[in-house]
Structure 1
Amino acid sequence: MRRGAFSAAGIAAALSLALTGCSSSSGPAPSTGSGGSAGKLVVGVTSDPDTLFPWKATQFQAVNVLQNLYGTLTEFDKDLTVVPGLAESWETSDDGRKLTFKLRQGVTFADGSAFDSMDAKDSLELIMDEETAAVARTSLASVKSVEAPDASTLVLELTGPDAALPANLASVNMAMISSADSEAGLSTKPNGTGPFTFGKRVASQSITLTRNDKYWGAEKAKVASVEFRVIPDESSIVSAMQSGNVQLAVFNDPLVAQTAQGGTVTVAKTPQLNYHVLQLNAQKGDLKDVNVRLAMQCAIDRKQVLDTAALGEGEVTGPITAPAFKSDPDKRPCPKRDLAKAAEYLGKAGKPGGVTVKTIVSQGEYATSVNEAQNLKAQLAEAKINLELEVLESGAFVDRWVAADFDAAVALNGGRPDPDGSYGRYFTSKGNLNKVAGYSSPELDELFAEGKATTDQAARKVVYDKVAAQLEDNAAWIWLFSGFTYTATAQNVRGFVPMASGSLQYLRTTSAG
């Protein structure tokens, strides 16, 4: 999903902020005028969020809802440049071992309580606590301590320079919550500092957010409410848009997008950082043998998967999709399908008769999953590798995925502007999602540490090229392709900005009327 249309300059700017600091009084929202609309915006989605607790959200729909309810210390603008969020500025010490944030004053949570540095300190310390099981814990691995010397100052003492930290803090998985709140309470009634507040939820049907008139940003949300309406499949969402019952939707399936375009519906195509991947758990069964994994890698024609599942809308990708650090997919074992080489690897593994790999597939979270899985199954069968597919509802898939209860998984993973944010939590030995990744090595541990400690962007690119080579040469996963999202809007919808990250944060600037 990373094409020329995406701004690499924005990424460069984001990284330069990591150690030079930033100062501003405004957040990322573009100017679209002041005041709000009395209208209601209905967004069509195919699945219900599997959690309302931001520190554990991995499902795309959960993230899309929660990023409109919660605030983070830093944020991304439309070009994925790091900009101020709940922290209006920050400074890094000369040795890179201290990061000092100046927090906004006058910010309140949805329940009316004030946000201050103790809320930020408690939030970060709980995310860092292994018992919390926060999915972004590894992103704070460089943080030695958190101090709150006064109500508007937050100080992070680091073990060493961390060039990725400002960007990593922009994830909703790093949301700031009130010190008075608990996971149990927030799982049913979110309480954030975002542009919207939690309204009501009808399980498996809808979630409604209401405008936060006390939002700290210069501009309040344009619509009085946003309803995320659950509709089983993307084609049904198109019908709902054509009948006027839904005003906005984001599609993954290019064929559905083609059917949506026209009449009262406009479709915008946006390259994405997200990547489609066949995840392999190197801790399970035959996949423990690197030769089996390499056999699978060599037996797959990635372009065929792209053409079959997404009508060729996208490009074959390597592990790192951010433009400033992008991997070269030709620098991998078997950049083109090679069945003879696949057979050779199976022979080295002592499995010339083939293997069976149990594979989970999500149905409902994104449109191309089942087609991808079926194409992969057909291709691998020609190499005597049987993908035994188990198609799961989105929530069940996420549960199995988080528990690493799979041999392989057909997945669409969210990419990030910084490679450390994308993979540090997966492929380092102490990464909090390493159990899910199923692979780590001392070499990768050293490379990820070097990448965080290096401030020069060109030097970081060299480091992450080595990371990509390690992942590909060991077939940790099989990266397939990246594509597009297709944002469909009704005639009365204005001001929504699609993002390469897939974020729906610009619902705050969207009007419907």
Structure 2
Amino acid sequence: MKAGTRAQRATIATIALAAGTALTLAGCSAPSSTTPSDDAAAVTGGNLVVGVTAEPDNLYPWTATQFQAVNVLQNVYGTLTEYDEDLNVVPGLAESWEVSEDGLTLTFDLRDGVTFEDGSAFDSADVKYSLDAIKDEATAAVSRATLTSVASIEAPDADTVVLTLTAPDAALPSNLATINMAILSSDDTAEALATAPNGTGPFSFDSRIPNQSLTLTRNDAYWGEAASLDSVEFRIIPDETSIVSAMQSGNVQLAVLSDPLVAQTAETGTTTVERTPQLSYHALQLNASKGDLADVNVRLAVQCAIDRQQVLDTAALGEGEVTGPITSPAFRSDPAARPCPERDLDKAAQYLDDAGKSGGVTIDAIVNQSGYATSVAEAQNLAAQLAEANITLNLEVLESGAYVDRWVAGDFDAAVALNGGRPDPDGAYSRYFTSTGNLNKVAAYSSPELDGLFAEGRAASDQGEREDIYAQISEDLEDNAPWIWLFTGFNYTAMNGVTGFVPLANGSLQFLRTASLTA
């Protein structure tokens, strides 16, 4: 069993570690709360209804990939570090941390007085258990690659966790802030948490009605500032147009929309819409181990046959930007730095000829029908464009849960996808494109050169040096085209009678804890 109360710290150590522009990798205070824009209008308590298009498919944070599931879990579980409103890294369950002079030891000082929802005390045993389990390949944790540089995890006392690294890791504090790195109770099991989450976050799991709703209630024992809301209900409404109708009738108060046309119709009466650029990126993901796609020339033919701006204009009304692989602000790729920065059907034909496929190829692609609004339109436009290059894209449209299962298993030739971006590119990509990456079977592409570059990117502390390394990674990905990066778009946060909620570029709903209803 875990220890209970711990002695208070006399001082809080602070240290900065360079991991990207505006990314403070240690600090001495909790994330700042957002003050409602009109304090007089804010109401303490109340029940907020959030409209979502798909039911959360997984309540186990280490293996969750679906956006709807992640958005629920962000409000229930805690992580050692967190992001603030500007995606700077700040303290979470660790109130401070210190990096040794050689960069090979990272020591976390844990918060006192934190408890899990079941009342048990949080301590270093929970951190060691969680990180060891995430490192264990049998757990199938989707962010296992975050701990690539971690050789050992020790808990010398109830308040302290020490990570010993094989090499300096500038990305680690940022990567620890993702909900896939949630700290679980060492007394819990995956089976129990699959239906009854037990976290340290601002809200607690309350109930679930399959295919209808999932409800959280305020966690009054939360270590930070208590949430204003009594509860948050995630109500499942199959399409965004219906969500907007529910908002206009007063049955839903908040929704994050992905369809710009629907967002335009939402902004009426008392409903406001906030437009936030995404770190997420839209892509046609090619499985480089499957059939014709194992030939880089076929993949490059696909890349050259696509007009990305046309996909953006057709599916998202031009609301966004054509993108390269890396969307992290300090490391953003140049979308012109690719073999075919513009559509080039002659070059596509030459690549097919080089592959011995001048007669054309057929590729089967899975499409997520309910995960985000523009998926089917993107897929249809891609299929129409590729047909002009003698490339047949057969579309298999799936509901969200079936799509995620196939995607995680790498059971596809191609996938029309919206992938979440991160402030640091290591967390976004090393798990896909390194030989030991735990999601490498999704991409099915790696190389010794990429393995070396990702290792260098983690070990480098100089910002300029890291930018150069990730530019080389981006170049490799474009030149070998395991995926075809299309565009980044916007999230449209529609609110009716809500104040104090802060939309984030990574799509997180973590600031439901600062939201209030208005009178």
- Give TM-score scaled by structure 2 length: 0.95
1:178 alignment partner, one of 185, 207, 220? 185
Distance 2:305 2:275 in 1: 31
Are positions 1:207 and 2:214 aligned together?
yes
Q: Which moved more, 1:26-35 or 1:437-446?
A: 26-35
Q: Residue type of the partner of 1:121?
A: K
Q: Residue type of the partner of 2:169?
A: D
Are positions 1:496 and 2:501 aligned together?
yes
SS in 2 for 1:99: strand
Which residue of the partner structure matches residue 116 of structure 1?
A: 123
Which residue of the partner structure matches residue 23 of structure 1?
A: 27
1:409 alignment partner, one of 408, 415, 432? 415
Are positions 1:271 and 2:265 aligned together?
no
Alpha-carbon deviation of 1:13?
A: 3.0
Which residue of the partner structure matches residue 424 of structure 1?
A: 430
Alpha-carbon deviation of 1:161?
A: 0.2
CA deviation string 1:320-374 (max 9, x = no partner):
0011000001000010000000000000000001000000000001000000000
SS in 2 for 1:146: strand
Are positions 1:61 and 2:65 aligned together?
no
Alpha-carbon deviation of 1:38?
A: 2.2
Distance 1:58 1:236 in 2: 25
Q: Is the 8 Å Cα contact of residues 50 and 232 (structure 2) preserved in structure 1?
A: yes
1:466 alignment partner, one of 468, 472, 476? 472
Matches within 5 A, 1:32-431: 37-217=44-224, 219-431=225-437
Distance 1:282 1:61 in 2: 28
Q: Is the 8 Å Cα contact of residues 36 and 220 (structure 1) preserved in structure 2?
A: no
Q: Is the 8 Å Cα contact of residues 281 and 438 (structure 1) preserved in structure 2?
A: yes
SS in 2 for 1:351: coil
Which residue of the partner structure matches residue 12 of structure 1?
A: 21
Distance 1:138 1:161 in 2: 15
Distance 1:23 1:354 in 2: 56
SS in 2 for 1:465: helix
1:434 alignment partner, one of 430, 436, 440? 440
Distance 2:488 2:28 in 1: 34
Are positions 1:512 and 2:517 aligned together?
yes
Q: Is the 8 Å Cα contact of residues 287 and 414 (structure 2) preserved in structure 1?
A: yes
Q: Is the 8 Å Cα contact of residues 278 and 489 (structure 2) preserved in structure 1?
A: yes
Q: Is the 8 Å Cα contact of residues 10 and 81 (structure 1) preserved in structure 2?
A: no
Q: Is the 8 Å Cα contact of residues 10 and 79 (structure 1) preserved in structure 2?
A: no
Alpha-carbon deviation of 1:31?
A: 4.7
Distance 1:11 1:458 in 2: 9
Q: Residue type of the partner of 1:497?
A: V
Q: Is the 8 Å Cα contact of residues 298 and 339 (structure 1) preserved in structure 2?
A: yes
CA deviation string 1:108-152 (max 9, x = no partner):
000000000000010000000001010000110100000111111
CA deviation string 1:296-323 (max 9, x = no partner):
0000000000000000000000000011
Alpha-carbon deviation of 1:264?
A: 1.6
SS in 2 for 1:54: coil
SS in 2 for 1:12: coil
Q: Is the 8 Å Cα contact of residues 36 and 221 (structure 1) preserved in structure 2?
A: no
Distance 1:107 1:230 in 2: 32
Which residue of the partner structure matches residue 3 of structure 2?
A: none
Q: Residue type of the partner of 1:320?
A: I
Alpha-carbon deviation of 1:10?
A: 10
Q: Is the 8 Å Cα contact of residues 501 and 511 (structure 2) preserved in structure 1?
A: yes
SS in 1 for 2:325: coil
Distance 2:33 2:482 in 1: 38
Q: Residue type of the partner of 1:163?
A: A
Which residue of the partner structure matches residue 12 of structure 2?
A: none
Distance 1:73 1:232 in 2: 34
SS in 2 for 1:328: coil
> Quick one: structure 1 residues 506 and 11, their matched pair in 2 at CA, closer, same or farther if it must change by over 3 Å?
farther
Distance 1:419 1:230 in 2: 32
Q: Is the 8 Å Cα contact of residues 28 and 76 (structure 1) preserved in structure 2?
A: no
Alpha-carbon deviation of 1:27?
A: 2.9
Alpha-carbon deviation of 1:37?
A: 1.9
Structure 1 unaligned blocks of 5 or more: 1-8
Q: Is the 8 Å Cα contact of residues 47 and 231 (structure 1) preserved in structure 2?
A: yes
SS in 1 for 2:289: coil
Alpha-carbon deviation of 1:28?
A: 4.4
Count of matched residue pairs: 498
Which residue of the partner structure matches residue 8 of structure 2?
A: none
Q: Is the 8 Å Cα contact of residues 19 and 461 (structure 2) preserved in structure 1?
A: no
Distance 1:103 1:363 in 2: 42
Are positions 1:479 and 2:488 aligned together?
no
SS in 2 for 1:13: coil
**Over aligned residues, Cα RMSD in angstroms?**
1.4
Q: Is the 8 Å Cα contact of residues 36 and 224 (structure 1) preserved in structure 2?
A: no
Distance 1:180 1:36 in 2: 37
SS in 1 for 2:62: helix
Alpha-carbon deviation of 1:381?
A: 0.1
SS in 2 for 1:410: strand
Distance 2:101 2:43 in 1: 44
- Give TM-score scaled by structure 1 length: 0.96
